[in-house]
Amino acid sequence: MSQNSEIVSTFCHIRTEHFSFDRKELPKNICNLVKKESDLEDLFQIALSYWQDIFNQIIFEEKLKKYIDTEPKERSDNLKKYFKIIRKAALILGSACHFFTDQPTLPKNFIYFIRYLGKINDAFALKQQIGNKYAQRLVAIVEVSDLSKIVFCATSIQEYQQRLSLFINSISDFQNQEEMLTCDFHTMRKNLRYVMNLYQILAVLHQENFHVLQTFQYLCQLNSDLGKVREKYVEQELLENNDDETEIIKVPDELKMRIKNFLDWFNSNYEKSV
């Protein structure tokens, strides 16, 4: 098995394996696993290797064609699963760029690639032609872009810590709101997912560290449950062709408490958790 294939297998394992801990419980403590600049490059390379092994442009173009040519009601679950896997790998690479490099955002075409992939994934449930326009935009992106080549640009531990603090503070800004606009809810969940992916990459590199793994699985479950809250609003936005995201979402108390628990845990463990 190649090194990249092992990385793909490990990502799958830490997402799906049922370990002895509760996915809604955080570890009592955690040690610092990012201590020097070379750690940042190691973590980035894991995300990049995963992306390069998952994404094959020829296969992706074939899947897009199949998506466009197939009636919405006939599109298979396997096709939906394929696009979800690609988007997850792209989001992981996006998180790696944010935290581990001196280039805190992906190239603009890559950002749109992730956005339109999300749209066609959301459109699967509607079984209508709505997703086709986003699929056509993806075709245009992959025709002119080499999405496999993302270059590492070294950054400092201080810069990494500052960026992570910004994401945590952004999540904190929303935690006490009883209701929020769908756009704010999306921003909160997106920033939480960046942090989730940070711990996911850490868990791949440090498979023996169950505290990191437990933290990732806690955030993974929280992200999934937040996604369920937003599903009905996403479908409505697609049907109305509306990206304004001005509906009001009431966040369930149980989810707000789990977000608070993570923020409290992170702040109490900050010096040793990252």
For 113-154, write each residue's pLDDT tens digit.
999 999 898 888 777 788 899 999 999 999 988 888 888 888
pLDDT band at 1 (very low <50, low <70, confident <90, very high): very low
Point out which residues pair with 249 in neighbouring strands: 180
Q: How far is CA 261 from CA 163, 220, 252, 254, 257, in A?
A: 21, 14, 14, 11, 6
Measured from the Cβ of residue 96, the count of other Cβ atoms closer than 10 Å reads 26
Label residue 174 by pLDDT band (50, 70, 90).
Answer: confident
- Mean per-residue pLDDT of the chain: 89
CA dihedral 106, 108, 114, 120 (to 10 degrees): 180
DSSP bridge partners of 248 = 181
Helix axis angle, 210-239 to 3-16, nearest 10°: 80
Environment class of residue 67 by beta-carbon count within 10 Å: exposed (0-12), middle (13-18) or buried (19+)? buried
What are the residue ranges spanned by the domains of the chain?
3-273
Q: Which two tokens stand for residue 107?
A: 């190239």
C-alpha span between 136 and 155 (Å, rounded)? 36
Identify the weakest region by mean pLDDT among 8-12, 170-174, 217-221, 228-232: 228-232
Candidates 170, 198, 209; CA nearest to 274 is: 198
Beta strands in the chain, from DSSP E residues, in sequence order = 179-181, 248-250
pLDDT in tens, 63-122: 999 999 999 899 999 999 999 999 999 999 999 999 999 876 778 899 999 999 998 988
Q: What is the pTM of this model?
A: 0.91
C-alpha of 202 from chain center: 14
